[in-house]
Homo-oligomer: A and B are copies of this chain.
Amino acid sequence: MTVNKTSIYTVTTTVNPVGTMRVLSNREVQKLQDTSKRGLHRLFRQCALAVLNGEHEGDSAEELMAMYRDFDIRIIQEQRGLKLKLLNAPADAFVAGKLIRGVRENLFSVLRDILYVSAHITEDPRFDERSTSDITHMVFEILRNADAFLTKHLPNTVVCWGGHSISREEYEYTKRVGYQLGLRYMNICTGCGPGAMKGPMKGAYIGHAKQRVTSSRFIGLTEPGIIAAESPNPIVNELVILPDIEKRLEAFVRLGHGIIVFPGGPGTCEEILYIIGILLNPANKDIPFPLVFTGPASAKPYFDHIDSFIAKTLGPEAQALYQIIIDNPVEVSRTLRTGLEQVTRFRRKHGDAYYFNWLLTIDEQFQKTFEPNHNSMSALELSLSLSTHELAANLRKAMSGIVAGNIKEEGVASIREHGPFQLSGDETLMKEMDALLQSFVDQYRMKLPGSHYEPCYEIVSS
Protein backbone atom coordinates (compact mmCIF):
# COMPACT_ATOMS: atom_id res chain seq x y z
CA MET A 1 0.00 0.00 0.00
CA THR A 2 1.26 3.43 -0.85
CA VAL A 3 -0.27 6.64 0.43
CA ASN A 4 0.19 9.63 -1.82
CA LYS A 5 0.22 12.86 0.07
CA THR A 6 -0.76 15.66 -2.22
CA SER A 7 -3.45 18.13 -1.47
CA ILE A 8 -5.86 15.23 -1.37
CA TYR A 9 -4.88 11.96 0.21
CA THR A 10 -5.21 8.78 -1.78
CA VAL A 11 -4.40 5.14 -1.34
CA THR A 12 -3.35 2.50 -3.86
CA THR A 13 -4.05 -1.04 -2.78
CA THR A 14 -5.72 -4.36 -3.56
CA VAL A 15 -8.96 -5.52 -1.97
CA ASN A 16 -10.57 -8.93 -1.66
CA PRO A 17 -14.23 -9.43 -2.23
CA VAL A 18 -16.55 -10.11 0.64
CA GLY A 19 -18.28 -13.39 1.36
CA THR A 20 -20.89 -13.80 -1.26
CA MET A 21 -19.38 -12.17 -4.31
CA ARG A 22 -19.96 -14.49 -7.21
CA VAL A 23 -16.99 -15.36 -9.31
CA LEU A 24 -16.68 -13.82 -12.75
CA SER A 25 -16.13 -15.41 -16.09
CA ASN A 26 -13.29 -14.25 -18.25
CA ARG A 27 -15.75 -12.50 -20.51
CA GLU A 28 -17.23 -10.52 -17.67
CA VAL A 29 -13.81 -9.38 -16.57
CA GLN A 30 -13.03 -8.20 -20.08
CA LYS A 31 -16.24 -6.24 -20.21
CA LEU A 32 -15.50 -4.49 -16.94
CA GLN A 33 -11.99 -3.65 -18.13
CA ASP A 34 -13.18 -2.44 -21.50
CA THR A 35 -12.65 1.32 -21.64
CA SER A 36 -14.32 1.66 -25.03
CA LYS A 37 -17.85 2.92 -25.36
CA ARG A 38 -19.21 -0.62 -25.39
CA GLY A 39 -17.36 -1.49 -22.23
CA LEU A 40 -18.39 -0.95 -18.65
CA HIS A 41 -15.19 0.50 -17.30
CA ARG A 42 -16.22 4.13 -17.29
CA LEU A 43 -19.47 3.47 -15.46
CA PHE A 44 -17.81 1.14 -13.00
CA ARG A 45 -15.06 3.59 -12.20
CA GLN A 46 -17.50 6.43 -11.64
CA CYS A 47 -19.82 4.49 -9.33
CA ALA A 48 -16.90 2.94 -7.47
CA LEU A 49 -15.47 6.36 -6.77
CA ALA A 50 -18.79 7.52 -5.37
CA VAL A 51 -18.86 4.56 -3.01
CA LEU A 52 -15.27 5.16 -1.93
CA ASN A 53 -16.24 8.74 -1.20
CA GLY A 54 -19.15 7.56 0.95
CA GLU A 55 -18.10 9.38 4.08
CA HIS A 56 -18.26 12.67 2.24
CA GLU A 57 -21.30 14.48 1.12
CA GLY A 58 -22.80 16.46 -1.61
CA ASP A 59 -20.23 16.50 -4.36
CA SER A 60 -21.45 16.25 -7.89
CA ALA A 61 -20.15 13.50 -10.13
CA GLU A 62 -18.10 16.00 -12.09
CA GLU A 63 -16.47 17.50 -9.03
CA LEU A 64 -15.69 14.08 -7.72
CA MET A 65 -14.17 12.82 -10.95
CA ALA A 66 -12.15 16.00 -11.19
CA MET A 67 -10.87 15.75 -7.65
CA TYR A 68 -9.75 12.14 -8.10
CA ARG A 69 -8.81 12.18 -11.75
CA ASP A 70 -6.00 9.67 -11.14
CA PHE A 71 -8.37 7.23 -9.52
CA ASP A 72 -8.73 3.93 -11.32
CA ILE A 73 -10.02 0.46 -10.59
CA ARG A 74 -8.94 -2.84 -12.11
CA ILE A 75 -9.90 -6.44 -11.78
CA ILE A 76 -7.43 -9.17 -10.96
CA GLN A 77 -8.46 -12.78 -11.48
CA GLU A 78 -6.94 -15.25 -9.07
CA GLN A 79 -7.33 -18.78 -7.83
CA ARG A 80 -9.97 -17.80 -5.30
CA GLY A 81 -11.80 -15.48 -7.66
CA LEU A 82 -11.35 -11.82 -8.27
CA LYS A 83 -9.67 -8.99 -6.46
CA LEU A 84 -9.94 -5.30 -7.10
CA LYS A 85 -6.93 -3.11 -7.59
CA LEU A 86 -7.62 0.44 -6.47
CA LEU A 87 -5.35 3.19 -7.69
CA ASN A 88 -5.32 6.60 -6.00
CA ALA A 89 -8.54 5.99 -4.09
CA PRO A 90 -9.84 8.51 -1.51
CA ALA A 91 -7.93 7.91 1.72
CA ASP A 92 -10.95 8.49 3.95
CA ALA A 93 -12.36 5.15 2.91
CA PHE A 94 -9.49 3.45 4.72
CA VAL A 95 -8.72 2.88 8.37
CA ALA A 96 -5.23 1.78 9.28
CA GLY A 97 -4.55 1.24 5.60
CA LYS A 98 -7.46 -1.13 5.08
CA LEU A 99 -10.63 -0.36 3.23
CA ILE A 100 -13.58 -0.03 5.59
CA ARG A 101 -15.48 -3.28 5.26
CA GLY A 102 -18.80 -1.58 4.58
CA VAL A 103 -17.23 0.36 1.72
CA ARG A 104 -15.72 -2.83 0.40
CA GLU A 105 -19.08 -4.57 0.39
CA ASN A 106 -20.72 -1.69 -1.39
CA LEU A 107 -17.94 -1.65 -3.96
CA PHE A 108 -18.72 -5.23 -4.85
CA SER A 109 -22.42 -4.46 -4.98
CA VAL A 110 -21.63 -1.87 -7.61
CA LEU A 111 -19.70 -4.43 -9.58
CA ARG A 112 -22.49 -6.96 -9.26
CA ASP A 113 -25.23 -4.60 -10.41
CA ILE A 114 -23.33 -3.01 -13.25
CA LEU A 115 -22.53 -6.40 -14.70
CA TYR A 116 -25.99 -7.79 -14.20
CA VAL A 117 -27.85 -4.79 -15.53
CA SER A 118 -25.65 -4.73 -18.58
CA ALA A 119 -25.83 -8.44 -19.39
CA HIS A 120 -29.36 -9.24 -18.39
CA ILE A 121 -31.29 -6.01 -18.68
CA THR A 122 -30.00 -3.43 -21.09
CA GLU A 123 -28.24 -5.79 -23.50
CA ASP A 124 -30.75 -8.60 -23.45
CA PRO A 125 -32.70 -8.29 -26.72
CA ARG A 126 -35.65 -10.01 -25.12
CA PHE A 127 -36.53 -7.06 -22.87
CA ASP A 128 -38.61 -4.16 -24.18
CA GLU A 129 -38.31 -0.77 -22.47
CA ARG A 130 -41.73 0.24 -23.83
CA SER A 131 -43.57 -2.51 -22.00
CA THR A 132 -44.91 -1.73 -18.53
CA SER A 133 -44.72 -5.37 -17.59
CA ASP A 134 -41.16 -5.65 -18.86
CA ILE A 135 -40.07 -2.68 -16.81
CA THR A 136 -41.52 -4.16 -13.66
CA HIS A 137 -39.79 -7.45 -14.43
CA MET A 138 -36.50 -5.62 -14.90
CA VAL A 139 -36.83 -4.05 -11.46
CA PHE A 140 -37.74 -7.47 -10.06
CA GLU A 141 -34.75 -9.20 -11.63
CA ILE A 142 -32.25 -6.58 -10.54
CA LEU A 143 -33.50 -6.72 -6.96
CA ARG A 144 -33.56 -10.52 -7.01
CA ASN A 145 -30.04 -10.70 -8.33
CA ALA A 146 -29.01 -8.40 -5.48
CA ASP A 147 -30.54 -10.88 -3.00
CA ALA A 148 -32.93 -8.21 -1.84
CA PHE A 149 -35.81 -10.65 -1.46
CA LEU A 150 -35.76 -12.25 1.95
CA THR A 151 -38.70 -14.59 1.94
CA LYS A 152 -38.48 -15.44 5.61
CA HIS A 153 -39.10 -11.88 6.71
CA LEU A 154 -42.50 -10.46 7.38
CA PRO A 155 -43.01 -7.03 5.83
CA ASN A 156 -40.73 -4.73 7.83
CA THR A 157 -38.97 -2.46 5.36
CA VAL A 158 -39.65 1.23 5.84
CA VAL A 159 -38.63 3.62 3.10
CA CYS A 160 -37.43 7.00 4.37
CA TRP A 161 -37.52 9.97 2.03
CA GLY A 162 -36.54 13.54 2.73
CA GLY A 163 -33.90 16.15 2.11
CA HIS A 164 -30.19 15.54 2.17
CA SER A 165 -29.31 19.00 3.46
CA ILE A 166 -31.65 19.44 6.37
CA SER A 167 -31.06 21.32 9.62
CA ARG A 168 -29.24 19.78 12.58
CA GLU A 169 -32.54 19.67 14.47
CA GLU A 170 -34.29 17.85 11.64
CA TYR A 171 -31.39 15.46 11.31
CA GLU A 172 -31.50 14.60 15.02
CA TYR A 173 -35.21 14.04 14.64
CA THR A 174 -34.68 11.51 11.83
CA LYS A 175 -32.34 9.63 14.18
CA ARG A 176 -34.94 9.59 16.91
CA VAL A 177 -37.54 8.22 14.51
CA GLY A 178 -35.06 5.62 13.27
CA TYR A 179 -34.33 4.60 16.85
CA GLN A 180 -38.01 3.91 17.51
CA LEU A 181 -38.35 2.02 14.23
CA GLY A 182 -35.31 -0.05 15.15
CA LEU A 183 -36.66 -0.86 18.58
CA ARG A 184 -39.72 -2.24 16.77
CA TYR A 185 -37.59 -4.42 14.50
CA MET A 186 -38.15 -2.41 11.34
CA ASN A 187 -35.50 -2.06 8.64
CA ILE A 188 -34.68 1.08 6.71
CA CYS A 189 -34.51 1.69 2.98
CA THR A 190 -33.39 5.05 1.62
CA GLY A 191 -31.83 6.57 -1.42
CA CYS A 192 -28.36 6.69 0.17
CA GLY A 193 -26.63 9.90 0.95
CA PRO A 194 -26.68 12.24 3.93
CA GLY A 195 -29.43 13.94 5.92
CA ALA A 196 -32.79 12.21 6.02
CA MET A 197 -31.25 9.20 4.29
CA LYS A 198 -28.58 8.64 6.92
CA GLY A 199 -30.22 9.67 10.19
CA PRO A 200 -32.90 6.97 10.30
CA MET A 201 -30.29 4.25 9.70
CA LYS A 202 -28.08 5.49 12.51
CA GLY A 203 -30.98 5.63 14.89
CA ALA A 204 -32.31 2.26 13.85
CA TYR A 205 -28.90 0.74 14.35
CA ILE A 206 -28.90 1.69 18.02
CA GLY A 207 -32.48 0.42 18.33
CA HIS A 208 -31.42 -2.86 16.78
CA ALA A 209 -28.43 -3.03 19.12
CA LYS A 210 -30.75 -2.91 22.11
CA GLN A 211 -32.95 -5.56 20.56
CA ARG A 212 -29.88 -7.61 19.59
CA VAL A 213 -30.87 -7.60 15.94
CA THR A 214 -27.74 -8.63 14.07
CA SER A 215 -29.37 -8.97 10.68
CA SER A 216 -30.27 -5.31 10.28
CA ARG A 217 -31.07 -4.30 6.73
CA PHE A 218 -30.04 -0.85 5.69
CA ILE A 219 -30.95 -0.81 2.06
CA GLY A 220 -29.72 1.89 -0.23
CA LEU A 221 -31.28 2.25 -3.67
CA THR A 222 -29.44 4.49 -6.04
CA GLU A 223 -28.65 4.96 -9.72
CA PRO A 224 -25.57 6.07 -11.65
CA GLY A 225 -26.85 9.62 -12.15
CA ILE A 226 -27.26 10.37 -8.45
CA ILE A 227 -24.73 8.12 -6.74
CA ALA A 228 -21.96 10.69 -6.76
CA ALA A 229 -24.09 13.42 -5.24
CA GLU A 230 -25.70 11.10 -2.68
CA SER A 231 -22.94 8.61 -2.14
CA PRO A 232 -23.75 5.60 0.01
CA ASN A 233 -22.71 5.86 3.62
CA PRO A 234 -20.95 2.65 4.71
CA ILE A 235 -23.81 1.93 7.12
CA VAL A 236 -25.83 0.95 4.06
CA ASN A 237 -25.37 -2.80 4.01
CA GLU A 238 -27.45 -3.60 0.96
CA LEU A 239 -26.68 -1.35 -1.92
CA VAL A 240 -28.50 -1.72 -5.22
CA ILE A 241 -27.71 0.31 -8.31
CA LEU A 242 -30.78 0.59 -10.49
CA PRO A 243 -30.20 1.73 -14.08
CA ASP A 244 -32.28 4.93 -13.94
CA ILE A 245 -34.34 7.20 -11.71
CA GLU A 246 -37.72 5.72 -12.62
CA LYS A 247 -36.68 2.14 -11.92
CA ARG A 248 -35.21 3.32 -8.66
CA LEU A 249 -38.53 4.91 -7.69
CA GLU A 250 -40.38 1.76 -8.69
CA ALA A 251 -37.96 -0.29 -6.59
CA PHE A 252 -38.80 1.88 -3.55
CA VAL A 253 -42.52 1.31 -3.78
CA ARG A 254 -42.36 -2.38 -4.67
CA LEU A 255 -39.66 -3.35 -2.17
CA GLY A 256 -40.68 -1.07 0.72
CA HIS A 257 -43.74 -1.80 2.82
CA GLY A 258 -44.38 1.72 4.00
CA ILE A 259 -42.94 5.21 3.53
CA ILE A 260 -41.97 7.95 5.93
CA VAL A 261 -41.36 11.37 4.42
CA PHE A 262 -39.13 13.74 6.35
CA PRO A 263 -38.81 17.40 5.43
CA GLY A 264 -36.91 18.21 2.28
CA GLY A 265 -37.22 20.61 -0.59
CA PRO A 266 -39.08 20.54 -3.87
CA GLY A 267 -37.52 17.14 -4.69
CA THR A 268 -39.18 15.64 -1.65
CA CYS A 269 -42.43 17.24 -2.78
CA GLU A 270 -42.09 15.55 -6.15
CA GLU A 271 -41.63 12.19 -4.42
CA ILE A 272 -44.80 12.86 -2.46
CA LEU A 273 -46.70 13.54 -5.67
CA TYR A 274 -45.22 10.35 -7.15
CA ILE A 275 -46.44 8.03 -4.40
CA ILE A 276 -49.80 9.80 -4.06
CA GLY A 277 -50.30 9.61 -7.80
CA ILE A 278 -49.76 5.88 -7.74
CA LEU A 279 -51.96 5.28 -4.73
CA LEU A 280 -54.77 7.34 -6.27
CA ASN A 281 -54.96 4.97 -9.20
CA PRO A 282 -58.33 3.21 -8.81
CA ALA A 283 -56.59 -0.12 -9.41
CA ASN A 284 -54.70 0.41 -6.16
CA LYS A 285 -57.71 1.44 -4.16
CA ASP A 286 -57.71 -1.40 -1.65
CA ILE A 287 -53.99 -1.91 -1.31
CA PRO A 288 -52.79 -0.75 2.11
CA PHE A 289 -49.69 1.43 1.98
CA PRO A 290 -48.60 3.18 5.19
CA LEU A 291 -47.51 6.72 4.45
CA VAL A 292 -46.48 9.19 7.13
CA PHE A 293 -45.09 12.72 6.85
CA THR A 294 -43.16 13.71 9.95
CA GLY A 295 -40.64 16.14 11.37
CA PRO A 296 -39.88 18.13 14.49
CA ALA A 297 -42.15 20.99 15.50
CA SER A 298 -40.13 23.37 13.34
CA ALA A 299 -41.05 21.34 10.26
CA LYS A 300 -44.77 21.75 10.75
CA PRO A 301 -45.12 24.62 8.25
CA TYR A 302 -43.44 22.58 5.54
CA PHE A 303 -45.99 19.78 5.77
CA ASP A 304 -48.87 22.19 6.37
CA HIS A 305 -48.21 23.84 3.05
CA ILE A 306 -47.96 20.57 1.22
CA ASP A 307 -51.11 19.30 2.88
CA SER A 308 -52.94 22.43 1.95
CA PHE A 309 -51.75 22.19 -1.64
CA ILE A 310 -52.94 18.58 -1.87
CA ALA A 311 -56.27 19.45 -0.28
CA LYS A 312 -56.92 22.13 -2.85
CA THR A 313 -55.72 20.23 -5.89
CA LEU A 314 -56.30 16.52 -5.29
CA GLY A 315 -58.82 16.74 -2.51
CA PRO A 316 -59.66 14.74 0.60
CA GLU A 317 -59.32 11.41 -1.21
CA ALA A 318 -55.63 12.16 -1.58
CA GLN A 319 -55.35 13.52 1.95
CA ALA A 320 -56.73 10.25 3.29
CA LEU A 321 -53.67 8.44 1.98
CA TYR A 322 -51.23 9.88 4.50
CA GLN A 323 -50.91 10.98 8.09
CA ILE A 324 -48.94 13.97 9.28
CA ILE A 325 -47.37 13.40 12.69
CA ILE A 326 -45.36 16.21 14.21
CA ASP A 327 -42.61 15.73 16.79
CA ASN A 328 -43.57 12.26 17.95
CA PRO A 329 -41.18 9.45 16.95
CA VAL A 330 -42.98 6.87 19.07
CA GLU A 331 -46.27 7.63 17.38
CA VAL A 332 -44.65 7.50 13.93
CA SER A 333 -43.15 4.10 14.59
CA ARG A 334 -46.37 2.73 16.06
CA THR A 335 -48.28 3.95 13.02
CA LEU A 336 -45.83 2.24 10.72
CA ARG A 337 -45.90 -0.95 12.76
CA THR A 338 -49.70 -1.04 12.58
CA GLY A 339 -49.59 -0.26 8.89
CA LEU A 340 -47.13 -3.06 8.21
CA GLU A 341 -49.43 -5.49 9.95
CA GLN A 342 -52.21 -4.46 7.59
CA VAL A 343 -49.86 -4.94 4.67
CA THR A 344 -48.99 -8.40 5.97
CA ARG A 345 -52.61 -9.44 6.30
CA PHE A 346 -53.45 -8.08 2.88
CA ARG A 347 -50.62 -9.87 1.15
CA ARG A 348 -51.34 -13.12 2.93
CA LYS A 349 -54.99 -12.87 1.97
CA HIS A 350 -54.23 -12.13 -1.66
CA GLY A 351 -51.21 -14.40 -1.94
CA ASP A 352 -49.05 -11.47 -2.95
CA ALA A 353 -45.38 -11.71 -2.16
CA TYR A 354 -44.11 -10.18 1.09
CA TYR A 355 -40.91 -9.16 -0.65
CA PHE A 356 -42.25 -7.49 -3.81
CA ASN A 357 -45.46 -5.59 -4.26
CA TRP A 358 -46.69 -7.21 -7.49
CA LEU A 359 -50.27 -6.08 -7.04
CA LEU A 360 -49.53 -2.38 -7.12
CA THR A 361 -50.30 -0.87 -10.50
CA ILE A 362 -47.77 1.69 -11.70
CA ASP A 363 -48.83 3.58 -14.76
CA GLU A 364 -46.61 4.00 -17.75
CA GLN A 365 -46.34 7.71 -17.00
CA PHE A 366 -44.70 6.98 -13.66
CA GLN A 367 -42.32 4.51 -15.25
CA LYS A 368 -41.10 6.75 -18.00
CA THR A 369 -38.76 9.68 -17.68
CA PHE A 370 -40.33 13.12 -17.91
CA GLU A 371 -37.90 15.50 -19.58
CA PRO A 372 -39.12 19.02 -18.93
CA ASN A 373 -38.86 21.43 -21.86
CA HIS A 374 -41.10 23.91 -23.60
CA ASN A 375 -42.81 21.21 -25.63
CA SER A 376 -43.40 18.71 -22.90
CA MET A 377 -44.57 21.41 -20.48
CA SER A 378 -47.06 22.96 -22.86
CA ALA A 379 -48.45 19.52 -23.61
CA LEU A 380 -49.33 18.93 -19.96
CA GLU A 381 -52.99 18.98 -19.09
CA LEU A 382 -53.54 20.57 -15.71
CA SER A 383 -57.24 20.49 -15.17
CA LEU A 384 -59.39 19.69 -12.17
CA SER A 385 -61.56 17.71 -14.54
CA LEU A 386 -58.92 15.03 -14.83
CA SER A 387 -59.10 12.00 -12.60
CA THR A 388 -57.08 12.65 -9.47
CA HIS A 389 -54.34 10.17 -10.29
CA GLU A 390 -53.86 11.63 -13.74
CA LEU A 391 -53.79 15.09 -12.26
CA ALA A 392 -51.26 13.97 -9.66
CA ALA A 393 -49.07 12.58 -12.42
CA ASN A 394 -49.25 15.84 -14.35
CA LEU A 395 -48.73 17.99 -11.26
CA ARG A 396 -45.64 15.97 -10.49
CA LYS A 397 -44.37 16.67 -14.00
CA ALA A 398 -45.24 20.34 -13.76
CA MET A 399 -43.47 20.56 -10.41
CA SER A 400 -40.49 18.85 -11.92
CA GLY A 401 -40.44 21.33 -14.79
CA ILE A 402 -40.87 24.37 -12.60
CA VAL A 403 -38.05 23.30 -10.33
CA ALA A 404 -35.89 22.76 -13.40
CA GLY A 405 -36.87 26.14 -14.80
CA ASN A 406 -36.05 27.85 -11.54
CA ILE A 407 -32.88 26.24 -10.34
CA LYS A 408 -31.41 23.61 -12.65
CA GLU A 409 -28.70 24.86 -14.93
CA GLU A 410 -30.18 23.52 -18.14
CA GLY A 411 -33.69 24.60 -17.28
CA VAL A 412 -32.73 28.14 -16.29
CA ALA A 413 -30.81 28.55 -19.57
CA SER A 414 -33.77 27.31 -21.55
CA ILE A 415 -36.13 29.76 -19.90
CA ARG A 416 -33.69 32.56 -20.49
CA GLU A 417 -33.56 31.70 -24.17
CA HIS A 418 -37.17 30.82 -24.96
CA GLY A 419 -39.14 32.61 -22.28
CA PRO A 420 -41.37 31.05 -19.68
CA PHE A 421 -43.01 27.63 -20.06
CA GLN A 422 -46.54 27.87 -21.40
CA LEU A 423 -48.87 25.85 -19.22
CA SER A 424 -52.44 25.26 -20.26
CA GLY A 425 -54.01 24.67 -16.91
CA ASP A 426 -56.51 25.88 -14.38
CA GLU A 427 -55.36 29.13 -12.98
CA THR A 428 -56.28 28.20 -9.43
CA LEU A 429 -54.10 25.13 -9.65
CA MET A 430 -51.15 27.23 -10.70
CA LYS A 431 -51.70 29.70 -7.92
CA GLU A 432 -51.54 26.94 -5.39
CA MET A 433 -48.30 25.75 -6.86
CA ASP A 434 -46.92 29.27 -6.71
CA ALA A 435 -47.83 29.50 -3.06
CA LEU A 436 -46.24 26.17 -2.31
CA LEU A 437 -43.01 27.06 -4.02
CA GLN A 438 -42.95 30.40 -2.26
CA SER A 439 -43.27 28.62 1.06
CA PHE A 440 -40.20 26.51 0.24
CA VAL A 441 -38.33 29.70 -0.46
CA ASP A 442 -39.48 31.24 2.78
CA GLN A 443 -38.27 28.21 4.68
CA TYR A 444 -34.88 28.29 2.94
CA ARG A 445 -35.55 24.90 1.41
CA MET A 446 -34.87 25.97 -2.15
CA LYS A 447 -31.57 27.25 -3.44
CA LEU A 448 -32.50 29.99 -5.90
CA PRO A 449 -30.05 31.84 -8.11
CA GLY A 450 -31.62 35.15 -7.20
CA SER A 451 -32.98 36.39 -3.93
CA HIS A 452 -36.63 35.81 -4.62
CA TYR A 453 -38.78 33.28 -6.35
CA GLU A 454 -40.11 34.21 -9.74
CA PRO A 455 -42.47 31.88 -11.60
CA CYS A 456 -40.92 30.50 -14.78
CA TYR A 457 -44.23 29.78 -16.50
CA GLU A 458 -47.36 31.41 -17.82
CA ILE A 459 -50.88 30.14 -17.84
CA VAL A 460 -52.46 29.83 -21.24
CA SER A 461 -56.24 29.81 -21.18
CA SER A 462 -57.23 26.24 -21.71
Is B151 a contact of A23 with CB atoms below 8 Å? yes
Is B351 a contact of A27 with CB atoms below 8 Å? no
Binding stretch for chain B, among A67-75, A94-102, A399-407: A94-102
10 A-B contact pairs sorted by A residue (CB < 8 Å)? A25-B140, A79-B344, A79-B347, A81-B149, A81-B151, A101-B211, A101-B213, A105-B212, A202-B206, A209-B237
Asked if A433 is at the interface (CB within 8 A of a chain B CB), the reply is no
Binding site for B on A (CB under 8 A): 18, 22-23, 25-27, 77-81, 95-96, 100-103, 105, 120, 123-126, 137, 140-141, 144, 149, 151-152, 183-184, 202, 205-206, 209-214, 234-235, 237, 334, 337, 344, 347-348, 351-356, 358
Is B183 a contact of A100 with CB atoms below 8 Å? yes
Residues in B neighbouring A27, C-beta threshold 8 A: 137
Kindly state the separation between the CA atoms of A25 and B120 in the bound complex, as whole angstroms.
15
| Distance to closest chain B CB from A135 (angstroms) | 13
| Distance to closest chain B CB from A125 (angstroms) | 6
Q: With contacts A23-B149, A81-B151, A210-B234 known, what are 4 further pairs, Cβ within 8 A? A: A80-B354, A81-B353, A205-B209, A209-B237
Residues in B neighbouring A22, C-beta threshold 8 A: 144, 149
Kindly state the separation between the CA atoms of A79 and B353 in the bound complex, as whole angstroms.
4
Instruction: Write the chain B residue with the least CB distance to A77.
Output: B351
Is B183 a contact of A337 with CB atoms below 8 Å? no
| Distance to closest chain B CB from A263 (angstroms) | 24
| Distance to closest chain B CB from A335 (angstroms) | 13
Instruction: Write the chain B residue with the least CB distance to A334.
Output: B96
| Distance to closest chain B CB from A357 (angstroms) | 11
Residues in B neighbouring A355, C-beta threshold 8 A: 23, 81
Kindly state the separation between the CA atoms of A103 and B210 in the bound complex, as whole angstroms.
8
Kindly state the separation between the CA atoms of A27 and B127 in the bound complex, as whole angstroms.
13
Is B214 a contact of A237 with CB atoms below 8 Å? no
Is B354 a contact of A79 with CB atoms below 8 Å? yes
Kindly state the separation between the CA atoms of A366 and B354 in the bound complex, as whole angstroms.
47
Residues in B neighbouring A125, C-beta threshold 8 A: 125-126
Residues in B neighbouring A151, C-beta threshold 8 A: 23, 80-81
Kindly state the separation between the CA atoms of A95 and B211 in the bound complex, as whole angstroms.
10
Q: Which 5 A-B pairs have the closest CB atoms?
A: A210-B234, A81-B151, A102-B210, A101-B212, A101-B211
Is B100 a contact of A210 with CB atoms below 8 Å? yes
| Distance to closest chain B CB from A148 (angstroms) | 10
Is B358 a contact of A79 with CB atoms below 8 Å? no
Residues in B neighbouring A152, C-beta threshold 8 A: 80
Instruction: Write the chain B residue with the least CB distance to A55.
Output: B210
Kindly state the separation between the CA atoms of A206 and B235 in the bound complex, as whole angstroms.
8
Kindly state the separation between the CA atoms of A80 and B137 in the bound complex, as whole angstroms.
18
| Distance to closest chain B CB from A140 (angstroms) | 5
